[in-house]
Amino acid sequence: MSAANLSANRQSGKRKKLFRRFEPYLLLLPALLIVVAFFAYPLGSSLRLAFMHYVLFEPQNIKFSGLDNFKSLLSDSVMPKVLLNSALWIVSVVSLQFVLGFALAVALNKPFRGKGAYQAVVFLPWAVSAFLIGMIFKWMFSQRNGLINELLMNLGIIHKPVAFLALSGTSIIPVIIAMIWYGVPFFGIMILAALQSVPHEMYEAADIDGAGRVRQLFQITIPYIKPTIVLTLLLRVIWVFNSADLIYIMTGGGPANSSDNLPSYMFNKIGYSTDFGQASALGVFMLVVLTLYTIFFLRITKFREAGDL
């Protein structure tokens, strides 16, 4: 073999080694570009706007304002109500969705006639758009010809129609009910899949040892599917915390912000006051809250040890 051919083979070998070295990064490059374009850049822009005075209709007055947006949020008289609504929204929605979804999964884990068709009907809400669900529940709780008012009057509980969506004390309750109905199938699907992975031999051994259904639930079922429970609760709290579509459709956050949570209040700031600076500051605050929640939740639930029986 000539010296020229030997040198060419060496160069080819070096190129192949170099390609193999950088091949994983080249394969990840499209996904990385998508993440940068649709996550990193918007996040960076939000962080920048959070420290600026940026009102859409004041283009001549756009400037760096430091912590002024965060100070304005702390002094905002509406924020305590919005924070209380957000806490009520998350705790009531996620807890009831979990309990009802868990019960639904346990019921569907048993064989019975027509199980497939029943599952399709029960899980149908998860496939319906939030806009349609919001419109349906808005009609149901309407003061004029609403189904809920008609039922309550026919039962004699009330004597005249109640404006559930227009009263500051009750306006958030119909939205919570709609959100619970919307999210139960998520827990049902996830927990049902986890229940089907529990070995039947464990239940047979527990029956032989005389363990009842309640004991089997807390000592076999829940510990075995704990990773799924932890993950679904984590994701659902994040999704519900960031959810504002039903609020926007059913009440618009009113009356007088009585049904606003943090995301809907942020949207209203953009839509009505066009203050992108304060809205971005509120978004940064929500990001910090969710980050701290995720760290705290994974630590107290010992997610890495979940599922070890």
Average pLDDT of every residue of the chain: 85
Q: What is the mean pLDDT of residues 177-190?
A: 91
| DSSP 8-state class, residue 258 | T
The one-letter amino acid code at 291 reads T
Least confident of 143-152, 164-173, 208-217, 267-276: 208-217
Cα–Cα distances (Å) from 45 to 137, 188, 238, in that order, read 36, 38, 22
Cα–Cα distances (Å) from 113 to 1, 116, 119, 207, 236, in that order, read 77, 8, 11, 25, 31
Say if residues 94 and 176 touch (Cβ distance below 8 Å): no
- Measure the CA–CA gap between 192 and 228, rounded to whole angstroms: 10
With 70 as the cut, is the pLDDT of residue 188 above it?
yes
Strand, coil or helix: 157: coil
> Tens digits of per-residue pLDDT, 78-117?
999 999 999 999 999 999 999 999 999 988 888 778 777 8
Secondary structure (H, E, C), 222-257? HHHCHHHHHHHHHHHHHHHHCCCHHHHHHCCCCCCC
Determine phi and psi for 122, rounding to 5 degrees: -65, -40
**Taking the model in full, what pTM does it have?**
0.83
Cα 108–chain centre separation: 24
With 70 as the cut, is the pLDDT of residue 272 above it?
yes
> Tens digits of per-residue pLDDT, 245-258?
899 899 988 888 88
> Tens digits of per-residue pLDDT, 45-68?
888 989 998 888 888 888 888 889
> Tens digits of per-residue pLDDT, 211-234?
787 888 888 888 888 888 998 999
Residue with tokens 């399709």: 120
State the Cα angle at 32 between 30 and 34, rounded to 5°: 70
For residue 288, which of 262, 250, 264, 307 has the smallest C-alpha distance? Answer: 262
CB atoms within 10 A of CB 187: 24
166 or 1, higher pLDDT: 166
Q: Which residues contact 19 (CB under 8 A, 6 or more apart)?
A: none
199 or 78, higher pLDDT: 78
With 60 as the cut, is the pLDDT of residue 306 above it?
no
> Tens digits of per-residue pLDDT, 114-156?
777 888 888 888 888 888 999 999 999 988 888 898 899 988 8
Q: What structural domains and CATH numbers belong to the chain?
A: 72-305 (1.10.3720.10)
